[in-house]
Amino acid sequence: MIPIISVVGWSNSGKTTLICKIIPYLREMGYLVATVKHDRHGFDWDQPGKDTYLHRQAGAVISSISSPSRFALVKELEEELSLEEIASMVKGVDLIITEGYKFGPMPKLEVFRKETAQKFELVSPQEDLFAIASDYPFEVEGVPLFDLDNARGMAELIENKFL
């Protein structure tokens, strides 16, 4: 089974930025990475007037687009897929990094920025954390704390713990 880790944190804490800093180091180490972004509000993947948009508007329940270098498939759902169901569709990678899923069971790297925290507390229970990336020096017993700019260190920890 492909290991899955979740990058979580308060809104606008820098989760996407951190993931985008860690992935190149993991690639440099020779790992293939997939990502899953959780959006609790729903999303739209294409633009009005584009062919895939028109197909969906006409009633297609699955719409895809393919080129020599990329493929995307979107399926209309009656209910949200679980992370496990999504992960079962992912093949050919060494690691899946999710953004969000803060209430899921996966090990978590929490991004904590003092200026964006809604409360001065972490969103994750301590037992779910394998690391914290922060601009504020604080300790959580048994959980490594990284500076937000130390993506290489976080990638090395991910490699040692999960790969």
By C-alpha distance, which of 42, 31, 43 is closest to 2? 31
Q: Do residues 16 and 79 lie in contact, with contact meaning Cβ atoms separated by under 8 Å?
A: no
- Of the pLDDT bands very low, low, confident and very high (cuts 50, 70, 90), residue 22 is very high
- 3-state secondary structure at position 33: strand
User: pLDDT by residue (tens digit) across 60-113?
Assistant: 888 878 889 888 788 888 888 888 988 998 999 999 999 988 888 899 999 998
DSSP string, 108-133: EEEEE-TTT-SSSS-SS-GGGEEEEE
Give the mean pLDDT of the chain. Answer: 89
What DSSP state is assigned to residue 82?
A: P
User: How many angstroms separate the CA atoms of 111 and 124, rounded?
Assistant: 10
- The DSSP code sequence of 41-68 is T----S-TTSHHHHHHHHT-SEEEEE-S
Query: Is the whole model's pTM more than 0.75, yes or no?
Result: yes
Q: What architecture does CATH give domain 4-43+80-162?
A: 3-Layer(aba) Sandwich (3.40)
- Give the list of residues 6+ apart from residue 161 with CB closer than 8 angstroms, or none: 107, 130
pLDDT at 155: 98
Per-residue tokens: 40: 């609790």
d(CA 113, CA 116): 6
Per-residue confidence (pLDDT) for residue 77, from 0 to 100 = 84
